[in-house]
Amino acid sequence: MYVCICKGVTDHQIRDAVEEGARSFREVQRETGCSTQCGKCACVAKQITREAIVGQMAAAVDDLAYAV
């Protein structure tokens, strides 16, 4: 779905930016252009960014876990 109408940014693009290494909303903004015009999408975009980062961190922790 479109999150940012001004820049035409979707939730998939935000998740892709995080998957490719963005670790803050500022980095997602830099990569996608999201929330760089009117800013009305910022709350939703930040929430999606946060969820994506948490998901990436959880996956990274799973990779570090060893079977006991």
Binding site for ligand FES (CB under 6 A): 4-7, 35, 37-41
* First CA to last CA distance, the chain: 42
Minimum Å distance from CB 4 to ligand FES?
A: 3
Closest approach, Cβ 9 to ligand FES, in A, equals 7
**SS3 label, residue 42:** helix
Residue 22 or 61: which CB sits closer to ligand FES? 22
Compute the least distance from the CB of residue 3 to ligand FES, in Å.
7
Give the residue with the Cβ less far from ligand FES, 4 or 48. Answer: 4
Distance set, CA 28 to CA 13, 14, 50, 51, 58 (Å): 9, 6, 11, 13, 19
